Amino acid sequence: MGTAEKVNSYKRIQPFVEILDSTLRDGEQTSGVSFLPHEKLMMARMLLHDLNVDRIEVASARVSEGEKEAVQMICRYAEKIDKLNRVEVLGFVDEGKSVDWIAECGCKTLNLLAKGSLKHCTQQLQKTPDEHIEDIRREVKYARSKGISVNLYLEDWSNGMKDSPSYVYHLMDQLCDSGIRRFMLPDTLGIMNPLQCIEFFRKMIKRYPDTHFDFHAHNDYDLAVSNSLAAVLSGAKGLHVTVNGLGERCGNAPLSSVQVILKDQFHAKTNINENKLNDISRLVESYSGIAVAPNQPIIGDNVFTQVAGVHADGDKKNNLYQNDLVPERFGRKREYALGKNSGKANIAKNLEELGLELTPEQTRRVTQRITELGDKKERVTVEDLPFIVSDVLKHDAPEDKVKLVSYIVSTAYGLKPGANIKIEINGQQYEASATGDGQYDAFVKSLRYIYKKYLDRTFPLLANYAVTIPPGGRTDALVQTVITWNDNGRLFRTRGLDADQTEAAIKATFKMLNIIEKEHNNEL
């Protein structure tokens, strides 16, 4: 059967594919990444409960006491929600030491690491194939006596199939009857291409048709996703992934990409809850400190943002520039970028989103101003749009309801920074002062005091704060401050631009205050 026929066959059959997430084990091998025990627990909870992955590989045995604590916490949680059988730990052929460690953690599944190539067996272990097989059988027997089920990794399997297939077959022949539940086939060095993956998997399936095979890809040639899909196309029943593609060297196959291609291109079934893919991505990004690229499919900041005006125009005309990857599917929404390439269609889309109605002439003037800002490389957001409209149309637009009348911020050696502010809200002036951990922190604490004491209202929480110099900037460049706010669970961003970092942050803050004040007044 040819590849095209195979794909069509899969569409008809709709196979089920198990997903093992190895973020907490293989993903932690990313350079510079080390998770704390409570961070591992938080990620495990989301992976098992919210995202509903089939299995999670959470650690390597005997690494550290911290790792042991993390595995124990995860296992206790998994047992409470009746998913302990989904928690797995990597262990080694070490005369039962890994098995004992895993048993002490309360885990019930060992992913045993064996050698899948003759070179690794003879040169790294310095053992004959039969000696290694005997060691594996002894390890499996001991684990099962402890009530622990065993899956077997054939490390460097891809090179084994390329250079020593007879060794791989001999290993399989001797171990198929040993009680191993799954054989897990890694492309350890990321050397395969999809055609090789199909060839090697078909040979394995043909020789061992009743065996459950997983595939574990690495991304050295940027082929981890392609190879994973080739493996499923050829009969693999499980795939190993990591959130955000974390992993050693170039990383592993990203969970989000594998999921959507399996579903949309192969019509395969998984248990993954797709509308939580963005949430788990953000959590792992936060704990790992490894930023997701803005153009990373599915989870990147920009992947549901249309920039060209022609695309926004097409979306108005029966969604001509949309595919099956609609943002709502992943708990997100489509955005239309504002800049020199926007055009009137993008502006109209954003105005519509904000509930603003402009005449054609007003829209033209706003578009012209946004184009001018784009030429200066300033970033324009949806939240900025009402203020651009106000600036351009002046007499047509209402004044800001929240205004900064005056302020002083100070810092001195040995003293906490302080702020004294006077602001105007709906024509009424208020004053306050406070100290904080920094000048801006003191400023915000003064604002919070005013909103609580005089208005008896909540003040959005600061969720994230980022400072950048626009591209091409010099030492005298403007500073751009981007603040993410959490207003009762709703996240939105405002930006301020100024030569002074504190002033830029204050401008971003007053943009936020005017947004929520307008909403508050509309509700009254």
Distance between CA atoms of 83 and 54, rounded to whole angstroms?
A: 9
Using left for φ > 0, alpha for ψ between -120 and 50, and beta otherwise, residue 430 falls in: beta
155 is catalytic: yes
Within 8 A by CB and 6+ apart from 349, the residues are: 312, 315, 316, 336
CB of 149 closer than 8 Å to CB of 110: yes
Structure tokens at 395: 């007499």
Within 8 A by CB and 6+ apart from 328, the residues are: none
Q: Which of 67, 88, 139, 155 is catalytic?
A: 155
Pair type for strands 428-435 and 415-425: antiparallel
Distance between CA atoms of 309 and 338, rounded to whole angstroms?
A: 9
Neighbours of 93 (CB within 10 A): 19
Within 8 A by CB and 6+ apart from 224, the residues are: 187, 190, 217, 218, 245, 250, 251, 252, 253, 254
Q: Tokens 């002033």: give the residue.
A: 503
Closest CA to 235 of 213, 262, 264: 213
Strand partners, 415: 412
Q: Which of 25, 182, 334, 493 is catalytic?
A: 25
Residue 401 Cα to chain centre, angstroms: 38
3-state secondary structure 250-301: CCECEHHHHHHHHHHHCCCECCCCHHHHHHHHHHHHHHHCCCCCCCCCCCCC
25 is catalytic: yes
Please give the positions annotated as active site.
25, 155
